[in-house]
Amino acid sequence: MTVWIIESVNGGSSSRRSAALDDDLIVKIGRRGRGKGEFANPQGVAGLAGGGIVVTDSNNQCLQIFDNTGECKLRFGERGRRVGQLQRPVGIAIFPSNGNIAVSDYDNRWISIFDPNGKFMSRIGHGKLLGPKGLTVDDKGLLYVVDNKASAVLVFQPNGKLVHKFGSRGNDEGQFAGPHFIAVNTKGNIIVTDFHNHCVKVELF
């Protein structure tokens, strides 16, 4: 259970190998286990504005923050089904305005918000989500959530207000079958991996 950070280097600028594209390992983070800096089913990963990465550790019910050398600087999260606890953390996204961390909790069926120091701030989507997975935040601060079980995408304001929802189960246009991950490009297009339909769909909000 390891996170790998890979640097891609064009063959023309690197004398170490003659391949057209070289993948150079910068740092290897973590190993299998239950302690600080160790993983049991790492899922989501996100880069931090000040450097370093944060990882959701699903089976250890926690988040871990590492610096760029691979040292674990912070581990937080408590297993449970109460507000502020984690049962199955999966997706992760960072709010650029304040560095707060959004975490999708698949089994608790909500999004937990933590500050950069690991303090629980709020939850989003309680009573509206069936099985959240992938997350992303756009440049306006809107939080996009893939609801895997509902085969839908929900869009929330940072305060938790639901502003948009689309998608249903199926294989037609505007439908999904077990969607997993999501991204938003600079044009505002919403890009969703549709697992059981074996495709990537691009939607416009």
Q: What is the pLDDT of residue 6?
A: 52
CATH of the domain at 175: 2.120.10.30
- Domain annotation covers residue 70: no
Structure tokens at 189: 């297009």
> Rg of the chain over CA atoms, in angstroms?
18
**In the predicted structure, residue 89 carries a pLDDT above the cut 50:** yes
Query: Which are the contacts of 26, defined by CB distance < 8 A and separation ≥ 6?
Result: 5, 6, 7
Q: Which amino acid is at 201?
A: K
Instruction: From 85, 100, 23, 87, select the one nearest 54 (Cα to Cα).
Output: 100
Where is average pLDDT lowest: 14-28, 82-96, 117-131? 14-28
Report CA-CA distances (Å) from 65 to 43, 140, 173, 198.
Answer: 13, 25, 39, 32
Domain of 151, in residue numbers: 77-204
Q: What is the pLDDT of residue 27?
A: 84
- Domain annotation covers residue 71: no
Domain count, the chain: 1
Instruction: From 114, 120, 69, select the one nearest 92 (Cα to Cα).
Output: 114
- Domain annotation covers residue 196: yes
pTM comes to 0.87
- Domain annotation covers residue 25: no
- Domain annotation covers residue 167: yes
Share of residues in the chain with pLDDT > 90 (%): 79
- Domain annotation covers residue 101: yes
pLDDT range class, residue 21, cuts 50, 70, 90? low
Residue range 26-44: mean pLDDT, rounded: 93
